[in-house]
Structure 1
Amino acid sequence: MRVLSVFMTVLALALPATADEAALATISVTGEGRVEAAPDMATLTLGVNNEAATAAEAMAANSEAVAAVIAKLRESGIEERDLQTTGLSLGPRYDHGNSGGAPKLAGYFASNMVTVRVRALDSLGSTLDAVVSEGANTLNGLSFGLQDDQAARDEARRLAVTDAARKAALYAEAAGVKLGRVMRIGEGGGQMPPMPMAMGAEAFAKSADVPVAPGELNLTSSVVVVYEIDD
């Protein structure tokens, strides 16, 4: 009983208690749930970088190339809601040379990046190849996800509560006490980290249809459950 009393005191100090919990002996546990799901969409950021002697020439060439890339994306079945410009820049390019003197203006560069959601994964490889053929020369990222992850997240939450109940029963048995009612449930962190895929433009420019392996996603949920200990 002395060991149990010390154990319960530590629990009380470790977790902020409500007024009801402060007057009761409780057990607090954290449950974890994980669900694996096959992705059904991909998000990629691609674009065009250009250099020219003047700022106007750099921007004009860049705009023409990006317009062709976006047109090809639309032709590939990408909807307007899945196209978004996420980076546009124009600036001077300097030649620092090897003499250690002042850098000299060598021209201008223009860059335009577009984030694209591809909802038909079976067309992802051909879409990548098509935009490179139209002038896209930069790929900053490719990740996989779910268009609707609600059902998978809810299942992870159920598994987390089940895991918490299992742990609480184990602790109660080890301590020689009985579990009572649930006093409190609090949701912890849960996430579905995107599955990244690194690839340079040169890596898929030579392929007629880029091979892509989407794999599976892990969705996790965490829950904190406080149980009353019956006398």
Structure 2
Amino acid sequence: MLRGCDLMTWDANEGKRLYGRVIPAEPPMRHTVIREPIGVIAAFTPWNFPMSSPSRKVRGALAAGCSIILKAAEETPAGAVMLAQAYHDAKLPDGVLNLVFGDPGMISSYLIASQVVRAVTFTGSTPVGKHLAGLTAQHMKPAILELGGHAPVIVCDDVDPDSAALACVKGKLNNAGQICVAPTRIFVHRKDYDKFVEAFARYGANTGGACAGAEQRYRTCRK
């Protein structure tokens, strides 16, 4: 939360520097870029970072002069609710920040098709991102997608297996493994395989932390 507050201040100050620019051109042409708010943003955030993800969407939109409709995750709603309450307490005008919960498919289809919404931003899984990209394309609206991936790790034979195992544990178990860049496959040179496995098990014991729920634990362990 403290990091989100710091970055909120950073975005607010960067918003003051959304300058236009003049692009060199051959006379008599003149090329000028003017940055203007695009309009209402529909933002969709995941459950694994319940405060930082909504905060990042909201502060960027507000700094650019845009209103935002935030669809946060039902699995971890408290962070987004507290964020909206903080903006309300700070006297943000009504209607600038709007928070909704409900059926993701129904809400995304409704918001993306709405003439009020001018752009879409989404953080989440690749399959859902592909679906939303298709919806935005149907309505010719820009979309910013931050999607999950499969992050392989390759441990070569010229590295210290103990140090490599520690780095992999930190990457894999960060946020209890509930993070899109957590390694999903680890390839270890056969020469160091046994040492790596022993070190990984030793460093990884009791460092996983709590998952957001049973479904998230299943997804994390399945990876």
Is TM-score (shorter-chain normalized) higher than 0.5?
no
So what's the TM-score if we normalise by structure 1? Answer: 0.19
Structure number with greater CO (CA < 8 Å, separation at least 6) is 1
Structure showing greater radius of gyration is 1
Greater percentage in strand = 1
